[in-house]
Amino acid sequence: MAFDFIQSELELRRQNNLLRKRRCQASAQGRLLRSEGQQYLNFSSNDYLGLANHPKIVEAWREGAKHYGVGCGGSPLVTGFQGPHYQLEQLLCEWQGRPAALLFNSGFSANQGLIKTLLGKNDLLLQDKLNHASLIEAGMLSGCQSKRFAHNQLEQLSQRLAARKQQNCLVITEGVFSMGGDQAPLKAIAQLCHQHNSWLMVDDAHGVGCLGEQGRGSLNQQQVGSSDVQIQMLTFGKALGVSGATLLCDHDLQDYLINFDKSYVYSTAMPAAQAMAISAAIELVRSDPHYQQQLQTNISLFKALAAELAIPLGKSNTAIQPVLIGSSERALLCSERLKQQGFWVSAIRPPTVPPNTARLRITLSSHHQREDIHALLAALASILSEQYEG
């Protein structure tokens, strides 16, 4: 039979408790979610600053649609580069202290395009083992020599850099790791790259908005200068509450990508209205530290309470707080039990995370209230103890 792996692969996933299913959400993103007739406290989204449904940002999108319509009619090199796109690029450059920015429809396509455009068979790519699937997969597709180093293990990175024969080398890490919430030691990595004449790219999907002065992200928080990191990738779909992404770099690389990056050249640009919403989100994050402060308060409260209740957390100081469970079956069970009690928390299973490290990925947001966090952890402590006994 043609394509009979479809059934067998799905069956294998089902048997191993690894089958994925979507759940249809009936409400906007926020502190509460409505799904399938029930209401839940939302501890799963990447809307870390609670901006996904913010009236000012919604209004900016509405204004944008009034002036520019809902679509920009083409890719950026045809008709899809409009005033709001240009203004957003300028704002990004100023905010991040970079000469050039380029907009993409998603972080996934920004990462894929960059790697496939920049690296060929004579080049070397070194990535942290826990980098996002968009980075790891592009490395495999680009035809370059692609190697991973153990998570945050600089000794191994240093050996790989020293042993390399290729002239061009790009190291990629994340500012904040998406499934563990821990951070990369960017200063030390940048030093190594400098020593070995390698470029460094930081994917800061989960750092931007949450960390650093004016929400500039991981580089600012760790005081790493933009000259030490040649390429920075930021997404707008997480803390900034909208969607889309940018690559920040110098003018030469920007020109090169405009000419050769197929995910830039051959894709319809984001609507101008969306660019205006993103600009509004950045202005809000820059000018009002309250969102970031509230998030920090919630993270501290969560960690302190979890410690009191002896709930085992990963080593994270960020909005992403993993509760390590181990088996996929048990992680699913915990997630189900939390849902029964009105808490929306996802179980993250292999292959998204390494084997036997299934976890609950709890995400905190500035929209959570003290009582929400108390209630979640009380429920979780009781579920975890039940299961140890059972």
Ligand X SMILES: *Cc1c(COP(=O)(O)O)cnc(C)c1O
* Dist CA 70 CA 274 (whole Å): 9
| Distance from the first to the final alpha carbon of the chain | 44
Give catalytic status of residue 46 as yes or no: yes
Q: Which of 54, 116, 238, 368 is catalytic?
A: 238
Residue 142 CA to its chain's centroid (Å):
22
Cβ nearer to ligand X, comparing 237 with 384: 237
Task: Provide, rounded to whole angstroms, the least separation between the CB of residue 233 and ligand X.
Answer: 7
Shortest distance, position 176 Cβ to ligand X, whole Å: 8
Name which of 349, 343, 382 is nearest 43 in CA terms.
343
Whether 206 is catalytic is yes
Q: Give the nearer residue to ligand X in terms of CB position, either 107 or 215.
A: 107
Q: Which of 116, 206, 367, 368 is catalytic?
A: 206
| Closer CB to ligand X, 82 or 246, in the complex | 246
For residue 132, indicate whether it is catalytic: yes
Residue tagged active-site, from 47, 89, 128, 174: 174
Residue 173 Cβ, how far from ligand X at the closest point, in Å?
A: 10
Residue 123 CB neighbour total at 10 angstroms: 18
Residue 266: both structure tokens together: 């051959």
CA distances from 149 to 5, 123, 171, 195, 254 (A): 32, 16, 10, 18, 28
Give the residue nearest to ligand X (CB).
Answer: 107
Catalytic, 203? Answer yes
Catalytic status, residue 89: no
Catalytic site residue from 178, 263, 298, 335:
178
* Region for residue 131 given its phi and psi (left: phi exceeds 0; alpha: psi -120 to 50; beta: otherwise): beta
- Residue with Cβ nearer ligand X (68 or 108): 108
d(CA 308, CA 280): 39
- Give 130 or 377: the residue with its C-beta nearer to ligand X: 130
The pair of structure tokens assigned to 338 is 């939390």
Beta strands 245-249 and 100-104: pairing type?
Answer: antiparallel
Instruction: List residues near ligand X by CB under 6 A.
Output: 106-108, 111, 132, 134, 174, 178, 203, 205-206, 235, 237, 245
Contacts of 115 (CB under 8 A, 6+ apart): 125, 135, 138, 139, 141, 142, 144, 170, 172
CB of 180 to ligand X, least distance (A): 11
Cβ proximity to ligand X: between 235 and 357 the closer is 235
Whole-number Å distance between alpha carbons of 363 and 322: 8
User: Residue 147 CB, nearest distance to ligand X (Å)?
Assistant: 19
Q: Which two tokens stand for residue 306?
A: 């979890």
Distance in Å, CB of 341 to ligand X, minimum:
28
Q: Which residues contact 86 (CB under 8 A, 6 or more apart)?
A: none
What's the one-letter identity of residue 321?
Answer: Q
Concerning whether 194 is annotated as a catalytic residue, the answer is no
**Structure-token pair, residue 297:** 């308060």
| Residues in contact with 276: Cβ distance below 8 Å, sequence separation at least 6, in sequence order | 60, 61, 63, 64, 84, 88
Active site residue 374: no
Task: Output 240 or 299, the one with its CB closest to ligand X.
Answer: 240
Q: Which of 132, 182, 218, 367 is the catalytic position?
A: 132
**In the bound complex, what is the minimum distance in angstroms from residue 265's beta carbon to ligand X?**
18
Q: Which of 45, 46, 111, 365 is catalytic?
A: 46
Residues that are catalytic: 46, 132, 174, 178, 203, 206, 238
